[in-house]
Amino acid sequence: MPKRFRMTRRFPVSMTEDGYRKLRSFARDANLSEGELLSFLFENFSSVTHQEKLDHRLRLFTAELENSKK
């Protein structure tokens, strides 16, 4: 296996149930593990996102997150 694809980092994460279900489904459809899929998404972030939509969705998500903390 090429050195580039060696999984070297592990980190604890918290995810919403919906986000985790979508991650697992996408990973299964792509025939990858959840970690491999996350690596793919972050390595190719700028090509798999639409910047304007991302900014809008991020604002909505952070507002919803703040409301849930109250």
Annotated domain spans of the chain? 17-69
Q: How far is CA 42 from the centre of its chain?
A: 7
The answer to whether the beta carbons of residues 65 and 57 sit under 8 Å apart is: no
pLDDT at 1: 47
pLDDT at 7: 78
For helices 34-43 and 17-30, angle between their N-to-C axes, nearest 10 degrees: 90
Kindly report, residue by residue over 19-69, the tens digit of the pLDDT: 999 999 999 999 999 999 999 999 999 999 999 999 999 999 999 999 888
pLDDT at 32: 96
